[in-house]
Amino acid sequence: MEVVIVPDSAAGGELIAEAMADLLRRKPDALLGVATGSTPLPIYEALAAKVRSADVDASRARICQLDEYVGLPSGHPESYRSVVLREVIEPLGLTESSFMGPDGTADDVAAACVAYDRALAEAGGVDLQLLGIGTDGHIGFNEPCSSLASRTRIKTLTEQTRQDNARFFDSVDEVPHHVITQGIGTILDARHLVLLATGAAKAEAVALAVEGPLSALVPASALQLHPHATVVVDEAAASRLKLADYFRATYASKPDWQGI
């Protein structure tokens, strides 16, 4: 696992956007896994700017969803399909045909989970998966004590997660109780995992995920198992890291050809 400490969220967004752009230069039809929420917005803004300036051609890129609410209509502004279309697909100049996501409105949600897992594999696998981290250490919607081998499935949200997401709705009562999420095992299948965390509220979760033991209680600690995982954090989110100085020194001496 590589840990990169950046000054702020804008710097983190630019760093990760450049890594995504570099991937698209090497593999124009790369499958990019995207996350939702406020944290990754600087990434999408920086990548869209690169597309507008012709620094990178994203016209053949494919986009896939990390998770989706169960029972929320696909056209609802806070369904993750709507969010991804609004924040990623449209700014990059792509169409819905480039987009893959689970069906949270399916009559048989369990079957929809299996179908999505299979679709990701049949698409050749995810080349780069973006991740955020919850204050309780969750990734995707894999809440604490999720199986580290889990596949795409239905999960029940904790009250903390529902409270955290209530800012996107008129009230917490409107936040669904259930979601479809890529499981930890599914996430680990991606070739490159990139987690962005910003703000002091994420500091403890980051420290436990990076420096703590591998534990289902902290689902993000599963990144320790991955051969190519990058954790990008701002100074506030890095404030609980015991090895912060080591991570800074390692990144400062990293050869340019290695990338992130």
78 is catalytic: no
136 is catalytic: yes
The answer to whether the Cα torsion of 86, 87, 91, 97 is positive or negative is negative
Give one DSSP letter per residue of 97-114, joined into a string: GGEE---TT-SSHHHHHH
Helix (H, G, I), strand (E, B) or coil at 148: coil
Q: How far apart are CA 32 and CA 62, in angstroms?
A: 6
> Which residues 6+ apart lie within 8 Å of 86 measured at CB?
77
The catalytic residue among 14, 18, 143, 164 is 143
103 is catalytic: no
**196 - beta bridge partners?**
232
**65 - beta bridge partners?**
34
The catalytic residue among 138, 164, 192, 234 is 138
Q: Which residue has the tokens 């599963």?
A: 222
The catalytic residue among 68, 136, 164, 234 is 136
The catalytic residue among 14, 18, 67, 234 is 67
143 is catalytic: yes
Q: Could you give the angle at which helices 41-52 and 9-26 cross, rounded to 10 degrees?
A: 50
Are 207 and 239 contacting, i.e. CB atoms less than 8 angstroms apart? no
The answer to whether the Cα torsion of 205, 69, 154, 118 is positive or negative is negative
Report the candidate in 45, 129, 41 with the shortest Cα–Cα distance to residue 92: 45
Q: Residue 59 corresponds to which tokens in the numbers above?
A: 């016209």
Largest CA distance in the chain: 53
> Could you list the active site residues?
67, 136, 138, 143
